[in-house]
Chains A and B, each alone.
Chain A
Amino acid sequence: EAGVTQFPSHSVIEKGQTVTLRCDPISGHDNLYWYRRVMGKEIKFLLHFVKESKQDESGMPNNRFLAERTGGTYSTLKVQPAELEDSGVYFCASSLFRGGTDTQYFGPGTRLTVL
């Protein structure tokens, strides 16, 4: 079974540009999460999809970040316009809620550098 995949693995852009990150969850997983880790800080939650619906987007830092999950399959996270403080590693995780809980499986992450 394929794991969670993310694309690209690295992205270097200039301040003010737009970047779109993609996450492909494990097949059949309804839940999809985005997290990020900025330099020196802890991994922080961004948002959570259940199928194509946003269940919780309380962790999104501001309206420069837009996440979508078309058809309840893959998800994209767009940053527009990117700022220096957006640099970090963005992780995606997916899970299947079953038996009262779920186990999240993470992708390898996308390292974003904003210059």
Chain B
Amino acid sequence: DAKTTQPPSMDCAEGRAANLPCNHSTISGNEYVYWYRQIHSQGPQYIIHGLKNNETNEMASLIITEDRKSSTLILPHATLRDTAVYYCIVRVAGLPSGSARQLTFGSGTQLTVLP
């Protein structure tokens, strides 16, 4: 799986959009970009994932650049409860055998939403 680079920390004002960047310059054509977050010591929470196109769900939007070398997770209206460590993970799609595989977590970005 390709390596990702994220800023160690970011602040965001409550109610504003939080834009979390991720660099994955060595990503391959068959690798997805996944985002998870961990609030305190809770289990990691799935947010969103994408392959090429931008994606949106009820939690966030994922913008992937055309060359796929970087992406941005957008939380449109950050709340205090969004304070967490956010992980950008690049993960190859199913192995040739068609099986799933593990996630490789880095150190992530500590997002602090300020009142």
Residues of A within 8 A of B (CB): 4, 31, 33, 35, 42-45, 48, 50, 55-56, 59, 89, 91, 93, 95, 97, 100-109, 111
Contacts and interface: CB of A to CB of B under 8 A. Distances in A.
A42 B102 contact: no
Contacts of B91: 101
A45 B104 contact: yes
Contact of A104 (B46, B93, B99, B107): B46
B44 A97 contact: no
Q: Main SS of the interface on chain A? A: strand
Interface of B: 32, 34, 38, 41-46, 49, 91, 93-94, 98-107
A111 B41 contact: yes
Contact of A56 (B32, B94, B102, B107): B102
Nearest to A48: B102
A55 B107 CA distance: 26
B98 A42 contact: no
Contact of B100 (A4, A91, A97, A106): A97
B9 to A, nearest CB: 16
Nearest to B38: A43
